[in-house]
Structure 1
Amino acid sequence: MKHRFISKRYWNSIATAMGESSSHLAEYDDVINFSLGDPDITTDERVIKAAFEDALNGHTHYTDFFGDRELRREICSYFLDEYQFPVKIEECMITTSGCHAMWLALEAILDDGDEVIIHEPYFTPYPQQIRLARGIPVVLETYENENFQVDPERLRALITNRTKAIVINTPNNPTGTCFSSETMTAIAEIAMAHDLLIIADDIYTKFSYEAPFIPMATLEGMRERTITIGSFSKDYAMTGWRIGYVIAPDYIVQTIKDINENNVFTAPSVSQRAALHALRLRESIQPPMIAEYQKRIRYAYERICQIPGMSVLPPRGSLYLFVNIKATGLSSEEVAQRILEEAHVLVLPGNAFGGCGEGYVRLAMTVSVEWTKEAFDRIEAMPLFQGLGAEDSLWQESSV
């Protein structure tokens, strides 16, 4: 919006479909919400009670500017136990969410005009987060017929003298892709050959269904050039607590701490205590939660495969299904709008995640199988999909 009291940087700012999604929930009283990756699962009761007790016992003040030392030590122990990857406490800082960690990392490393490569489809905030740090986002396209893997040659072709970093997100939001070991190794080799940083947005580490998750920082030669972004939001169903962290070389962490002193000082102390308890209880918290999401995403996949005009790759990771709707002949926004208006189901148009997302809609599997069944019953009954036959699905498969 143009206004003399608004910074000119934001005169052409446009809200994204993700940012506007909540406004659609009030349009109908029976909306089934597949829009945001906000689990319907409440944070484990033991975590809530333990954090409440900590608050009553005085954990209501600023913590260490790097974060609660007990939590940081626990994160270091976690990386050693889970990945046999030693992390020093000086290499770990607690942030107010993973999104905040990403902005702090970009602010710490970018000079004006530095370029950051992001693979598309991408998490919606990436381009603006880079611009907020005065960088330039550079888009690397990925495609469904390549399983949305990063192509090394296309990546190399984007590197210039101003390239500073590559952002990777696997398991991926929105596509659900998990990068293969070959893809990860190729990205690492390119980063080392061109002396680049990798910012690994590791938000869905527990939602890698085909193979165990491997952090980029653990690959040979990548420790000193990887900034790992972590979060408790999805792996522990703690979105509202707003707690994340950064793992990086100590000089980067020190710089991030200095920046954050002028931003929010420290992450909320009670939320940090909740994160500590969640980490310690992970072996009992996570398995049933992950099994529930796998059940939901498998059911949704099977339903999508039965609807003419829709297709999707088999579930590989994350909480999302990136559904191909090209056979409808309509745009992502048109299909998302019709699904809302006719089925009262809220999904996000794929172009919210960049140009490669056109022709798709994203579903976040954050509601029960019972409600997912109801949602797909409604979608399947829509005239849009009733009017498409098997030949449309065959055309669609041959076009991807």
Structure 2
Amino acid sequence: MKHRFLSKRYWNSITTPMAEVVDLAYKYDDLINLSLGDPDYITDKSIIDEAFLDAHKGHTRYADSLGDPELRYEIANFYQKTYNHELSDREIMSVVGACHGMYLVLEAILDDGDEVIVPEPYFTPYYNQIQLVRGKPVILETYEKDHFQIDVEKLKSLITNRTKAIVVNTPNNPTGACLDQEHLQAIAKVAIEHDLIVIADEVYGGFSFQREFVPMATIEGMKERTITLGSFSKDYAMTGWRIGYVLAPSYMIDCIRDINEGICFCAPSISQRAAIYAIRMRESILKPMAEEYKKRVEYAYKRINEIPKISVLPPQGTFYLFVNIKETGLSSVEMSKKMLEEAHVLVIPGSAFGKSGEGYIRIACTVGVDRLKEAFDRIEKINL
């Protein structure tokens, strides 16, 4: 990528396996795409209809830089009713998806060289985003034998004078693991004792299959030191609308609003109107979708564990399965390539999610059981 017109910071940049799959998705006409976490659902028709009625009524101008007041009210109402968690409208900001929110948060909290502890395997953009704002990612490996739960003693061992924050992503992308109450409370205790911020990525909060989802900010003593990233992308099948939110103390929200003035000022008005209707209809929209994803991952779990040399843990949350391929003797990239070329099934190599993701592939169950059956029928025929 070296070019005299590009910043030298990016001369050695390498395209990630996550980015490469976008082009690979067009390689075969009969390809079954189990790679990116883009739901096969179309946004509920009633959301689309109501949003575009609002557009005709004039919601096509810039929104409030903190977000549509009506949307912020609905978000606060949801957290109060669902989790008994009180939020003021000054503790909520609409953003252009959770990735945008994460960048704003990191820009607001990190000085050059500040450290952020990131459990691995991790959602691919975390690492680059921390570096983008001149921070330092510090990797905390998690392991399949521990069901990808965070080892709190290892977490404590990584804390230095420069540690500023811990990223907590539950339900987790890519592993599907859900942190239990005991682990959340232990992490909270560490954050309080060491005066750290927790950045809680809770994008998949609607897809926790084995236990009720508990937001990190609701743990005692954590509201003032938790920054929550939320999104409408997965819970409401609204990936293309690019709408999410940040929950944080008001001084933090004021800071990220000021930063965002030099980036995009506000989230799209029409998307925020859609989000208002989505959150109002949450039960009727999310519940059947979550049940369908649970059916899919349970089917995929069964099929995977019937195939020699690959295995996966029982699904806990999200629509992802992090499949162990170590017994094949292939690297995660080699296995992904083999599945693409021999079965025309596209997945993401585990190495895209950090060093400890090697030996795994991530499967996104974003197609129906009939297509999953076809995918695994093909995979079974591969010579492993």
Instruction: Specify if TM > 0.5.
Output: yes
1:83-162 to structure 2, matched below 5 A, reads 83-162=83-162
Aligned to 1:228: 228
Q: Deviations over 1:19-78 (max 9, x none)?
A: 111100121111100000000000000000000100111100001110100000110001
- For 2:177 and 2:377, locate their aligned partners in 1 and report how far apart those are by CA, in whole Å: 26
1:145-224 to structure 2, matched below 5 A, reads 145-224=145-224
Structure 1 residue 319: deviation in Å? 1.1
Structure 1 residue 215: deviation in Å? 0.5
- For 1:257 and 1:94, locate their aligned partners in 2 and report how far apart those are by CA, in whole Å: 10
**SS of residue in 2 equivalent to 1:363:** strand
Aligned to 1:382: 382
Structure 1 residue 312: deviation in Å? 0.3
Aligned to 2:340: 340
Structure 1 residue 4: deviation in Å? 1.2
RMSD between superposed Cα atoms in Å: 0.6
Which letter does structure 2 place at the counterpart of 1:108?
A: A
Aligned to 1:242: 242
Structure 1 residue 373: deviation in Å? 0.3
- For 1:153 and 1:282, locate their aligned partners in 2 and report how far apart those are by CA, in whole Å: 38
**SS of residue in 2 equivalent to 1:195:** coil
Q: Deviations over 1:176-198 (max 9, x none)?
A: 00001111111100001100000
Aligned to 2:291: 291
Please tell me whether residue 27 in structure 1 is matched to residue 32 in structure 2: no
Aligned to 2:47: 47
Aligned to 2:80: 80
- For 1:85 and 1:25, locate their aligned partners in 2 and report how far apart those are by CA, in whole Å: 42
- For 2:280 and 2:27, locate their aligned partners in 1 and report how far apart those are by CA, in whole Å: 41
- For 2:294 and 2:112, locate their aligned partners in 1 and report how far apart those are by CA, in whole Å: 43
Paired residues, what number? Answer: 384
Q: Deviations over 1:346-373 (max 9, x none)?
A: 0000010001100000000000111000
**SS of residue in 1 equivalent to 2:323:** strand
Which letter does structure 2 place at the counterpart of 1:169?
A: N
Stretches of structure 1 lacking an aligned partner (at least 5 in a row): 385-400
- For 1:31 and 1:189, locate their aligned partners in 2 and report how far apart those are by CA, in whole Å: 47
Aligned to 1:370: 370
Q: Deviations over 1:238-281 (max 9, x none)?
A: 00000010000000000000000110011000000000000011
Structure 1 residue 9: deviation in Å? 1.1
Structure 1 residue 13: deviation in Å? 1.2
**SS of residue in 2 equivalent to 1:94:** strand
Aligned to 1:304: 304
- For 1:182 and 1:376, locate their aligned partners in 2 and report how far apart those are by CA, in whole Å: 36
Which letter does structure 2 place at the counterpart of 1:34?
A: L
Structure 1 residue 304: deviation in Å? 0.4
Please tell me whether residue 355 in structure 1 is matched to residue 340 in structure 2: no
Q: TM-score, normalised by structure 1?
A: 0.95
Q: Deviations over 1:116-172 (max 9, x none)?
A: 000000000001000111100000000000000000111011000000000010000
Aligned to 1:272: 272
- For 2:205 and 2:42, locate their aligned partners in 1 and report how far apart those are by CA, in whole Å: 19
Instruction: Please list every run of at least 4 consecutive aligned residues from structure 1 whose deviation after the TM superposition is greater than 4 angstroms.
Output: none
- For 2:46 and 2:194, locate their aligned partners in 1 and report how far apart those are by CA, in whole Å: 47
Q: Deviations over 1:68-119 (max 9, x none)?
A: 0000011000100110000000000000000000000000000011000000
**SS of residue in 1 equivalent to 2:341:** helix
Aligned to 1:389: none
- For 2:15 and 2:166, locate their aligned partners in 1 and report how far apart those are by CA, in whole Å: 25
- For 1:19 and 1:244, locate their aligned partners in 2 and report how far apart those are by CA, in whole Å: 22
- For 1:305 and 1:2, locate their aligned partners in 2 and report how far apart those are by CA, in whole Å: 44
Which letter does structure 2 place at the counterpart of 1:247?
A: L
Which letter does structure 2 place at the counterpart of 1:78?
A: F
Which letter does structure 2 place at the counterpart of 1:12?
A: N
- For 1:148 and 1:289, locate their aligned partners in 2 and report how far apart those are by CA, in whole Å: 25
- For 1:284 and 1:329, locate their aligned partners in 2 and report how far apart those are by CA, in whole Å: 45
Please tell me whether residue 261 in structure 1 is matched to residue 278 in structure 2: no
Which letter does structure 2 place at the counterpart of 1:92?
A: I
